Amino acid sequence: MTISRRGLLGTGAALGLLTACGSNTGRDDGGSGGGPELSQWYHQYGEQGTEQAVKKYAAAYDKAHVTVQWRPGNYDEQTAAALLTDSGPDVFEVDGPTLDQIQGKQIADLTGLFEGVKDDFNPAVLAPKTYDGRIWAIPQVIDMQMLYYRKSLLADAGVEPPRTLDELVDAAKKLTSKKTKGLFLGNDGGAGVLGGTPLYAAGLELVTEDGKVGFDDPAAARTLGKIHQLYADKSLLLGAPSDWSDPSAFVQGLTAMQWSGLWALPTVQKELGDDFGVLPFPKDGAGEPSVPVGAYGAAVSTRGKHQQAAKDYLKWLWIDRTEYQEDFALAYGFHIPARISLAKKAGKLRKGAAADAVRFTTDHGYAQPLRWTPAGRTAYQDALSRIIKDGASPDGELRKVVRKVSAELDRVKKK
């Protein structure tokens, strides 16, 4: 059988039409309502029911047709790349935004949405979303990290819950045995997850309020040297099947203490009952205990065709519908609502380790400053990895990082 060119083109066109009819445009999933079409992106949460919940919220909005996309994989990289194109989302979760995204005018100014409610948002997480006095994302829920410890294992080893970094180093060593390691800070030895936490615990900071490097101080090298000591003592669990964000290593008894997030609390409680406690990262020298806090924010892309509709939707979802915020924070996983009034009245946060976590967040919480750019963060994490694992000189490594971060701070200041 021969196929004429016209026949081939016709078949191709028909196939194209069929493909178009059947293609998944993402517009029929999760949303309803009239008005403009909006696409909304979330990163994939590990907590069951969250996806259905956000689709339910979107479907309840009647002034726009909102399509929810639940995106597994490297979400931050996906959104960063999508913001360069017209096919990205109208509204999306962002772990930030970054200063470059704001200065690059990729994110819409949402200051107007906070009228009358700004003071009800936790200032620690609102600060990194604020630049030049304008607010660029709505904090959804607060996440924080803390130290989980197994009471029975500490009691058996005659170890008190560590209140200083020196005590943590000692405790981890005493708790290490053939079967159980003293402490789990992630499979990289803590370089990734700890970030600036030890610096804050030493009374320092990543970037000062006036935009200078906040750890150009001998105390920084001393503190980071102690983290290396944990590695050198072989007190750290390394190479666990799941990383620090998952409490599996802790509940399986692979480690006596683990640095993890508030989200792990329900699992730990279910598996260990009352046999655990939580602590902030212990202080060092003249510093204070510290816990990192952060919040995924809801942002609007400036490339979207319906920016005002997108802003109206976000205001409805994350500012007006407070019952959804509480549901999102506490019904599926375990997070602190970003609104102070909601966090105060949430029953699940009033007792036990959860109440401790909320107190740590209020008393010792710090958020990564907006000027802590990805380039500076990578340089610092690389240095931390070399200090921890290679035993590189903390002084020398930090000098290089200070130079790099200073150059980055100068770059963003010029824009």
Partner 1 sequence: MFVGPFLLGLGVFTYIPLGWSVYLSFFDAHNTVTPSDFVGLGNYTAMLKNEAFTDSLSTFLVFSLLIVPATYALSLALALMVNRQRRAQAFFRSVFFLPAACSYVVAALIWKMSLFSGVRFGLANTVLGWFGGDQIAWLSTTDPPWYWAVIVTVRLWLQAGFYMVLFLAGLQRISPTLYEAAAVDGARPGWQVFRYITFPQLRATSVAVVLLLVINAFQAFDEFYNLLSDARGYPPYARPPLVYLYYTALGQGQNLGLGSAGAVLLALIIAVVTVGQAKWFGLGRKEAQ
Task: Give dist(CA 43, CA 71) in Å, integer.
Answer: 5
Q: Least distance from C-beta 54 to partner 1, angstroms?
A: 20
**Among 13, 14, 17, 81, which residue sits at the site for partner 1 (rule: CB under 8 A)?**
81
Segment interacting with partner 1 (CB under 8 A) among 55-63, 73-81, 124-132, 197-205: 73-81
Residue number with CB closer to partner 1 (321 or 389): 389
Name which position in 31, 96, 196, 333 contacts partner 1 (CB under 8 A): 96
How would you label 204-215 residue by residue, b for 16+ Cβ within 10 Å and e otherwise? bbbbeeeeebbb
Pairwise CA distance, residues 239 & 237, whole Å:
7
Eight-class DSSP state of 256: E
Judged by CB under 8 A, the stretch of 79-87, 155-163, 198-206, 276-284 that binds partner 1 is 79-87
Shortest distance, CB of residue 148 to partner 1, whole angstroms? 18
Q: Which residue of 302, 307, 385, 406 would you call a contact of partner 1, by CB under 8 A?
A: 385
Q: Give the one residue of 34, 116, 158, 239 binding partner 1; rule: CB under 8 A.
A: 239
| Nearer of residues 5 and 351 to partner 1, judged by Cβ | 5
Q: Is residue 381 part of the contact set for partner 1 (CB under 8 A)?
A: yes
**One character per residue 5-44, x = contact with partner 1 (rule: CB under 8 A):** x---------------------------------------
Residues in region 116-155 near partner 1 by CB under 8 A: none
CB 43 within 8 Å of CB 71: yes
- The DSSP 8-state label assigned to residue 316 in this structure reads I
The one-letter amino acid code at 134 reads: R
* Given 39, 40, 50, 106, the residue binding partner 1 (CB under 8 A): 106
CB 340 within 8 A of CB 126: no
Residues 6+ apart with CB under 8 A from 250: 148, 150, 184, 257, 258, 260, 264, 268, 276
Binding to partner 1 in span 244-263, by CB under 8 A: 245, 249, 254
Supply the Cα-derived Rg of the chain in whole angstroms.
24
Residues 293 and 365 sit within 8 Å (Cβ to Cβ): yes
Question: What is Dmax (Cα atoms) for the chain?
Answer: 87
Q: Which is nearer to partner 1, 101 or 122 (CB)?
A: 101
| Cβ-based neighbours of 281, under 8 Å, separated by 6 or more | 146, 147, 194, 197, 198, 200, 201, 259, 289, 290, 291
List the one residue from 240, 264, 279, 317 that touches partner 1 (CB under 8 A).
240
Candidates 188, 284, 312, 326; binder of partner 1 (CB under 8 A) is 188
The residue count for binding partner 1 (CB under 8 A) is: 45
Residue closer to partner 1, measured from CB, 30 or 292: 292
User: Hey, is 301 helix, strand or coil?
Assistant: strand
With CB under 8 A as the contact rule, the residue among 193, 201, 265, 299 that binds partner 1 is 193
Nearer to partner 1, 310 or 384 (CB): 384
Region class of 216: left (phi > 0), else alpha (psi between -120 and 50), else beta: beta
- Pick from 98, 140, 258, 290: which binds partner 1 (CB under 8 A)? 98
Beta bridge partners of 93: 298
Q: How far apart are CA 175 and CA 182, in angstroms?
A: 5
Structure tokens, 114: 């906070």
**Nearest to 205, CA basis, from 361, 358, 372:** 372
Phi, psi of 110 (to 5 degrees): -110, 15
**Residue ranges binding partner 1 (CB under 8 A):** 5, 76-77, 80-81, 83-84, 96, 98, 100-101, 103-104, 106, 179, 186-189, 191-193, 195, 237-241, 243, 245, 249, 254, 373-375, 377-379, 381-382, 385-386, 389-390, 400
